[in-house]
Amino acid sequence: MLKRAVTILAVLSISSVLVTEAAMADDKQAVRAAVDQWFVVLNAMLNGDPKPLAQIYSHADDVTYMGAEGTYRVGWEATYADWKTQAEKAKGGKIEGSDIHMVVSGDMAAAQHYTQGQVTGADGKVTDSKLRETSVFRKEDGKWKMISHHADDFRLWEEVVDKP
């Protein structure tokens, strides 16, 4: 009887581990899909359409956005207003991500990567863009939503560091 109980507990324990590992793999795939969608959404914004941002972002009051140009917004309303302004000023562009690193733990995830490509500004000037970005996602109602985004234009710092 004891041997049977130990066997049942072992099977239940292994099953629990396998279910947990499968759920973690599913979450990693879902976060990767959200990161990939970020580039689609960002390209839409660069071409004048901010609406897809409303799909990827959480609409919570604790959302934050720190733009490469130095902005710092707190809350969905302020964040979306900033993105809408950028979309109005943007005249086109195409970016993509590289060197993507993700960490997924429970209902939170973080992704760090480079974003690079070309952006056409309000003045019509095409500029090469290369940013470092960090995004934080939270699982809300079974979907991974962005709750924080931070970008910086590290080329400035390369110039500062390289100067004698």
Specify the higher pLDDT residue, 74 or 8. 74
Instruction: Over range 133-161, report the average pLDDT.
Output: 87
With vertex at residue 66, the alpha carbon angle to CA 28 and CA 92, rounded to the nearest 5 degrees, is 85
Show the tokens assigned to 24: 């973690």
Q: What are phi and psi of 142, to 5 degrees?
A: 80, 0
37, 56 Cβ separation under 8 angstroms: yes
CB atoms < 10 A from the CB of 78, how many? 15
Range 2-162: architecture per CATH: Roll (3.10)
Domain layout of the chain by residue ranges: 2-162
Residue 155 has pLDDT above 80, yes or no: no
Residue 115 has pLDDT above 70, yes or no: yes
pLDDT score of 25: 76
**Digit-coded pLDDT (tens) for 59-110:** 999 999 999 888 999 999 999 999 999 999 989 999 999 999 999 999 999 9
Residues in contact with 93: Cβ distance below 8 Å, sequence separation at least 6, in sequence order? 43, 46, 47, 117, 118, 119, 120, 129
pTM of full prediction above 0.85:
no
**pLDDT tier for residue 18 given thresholds of 50, 70 and 90:** low
User: 142: which DSSP letter?
Assistant: T
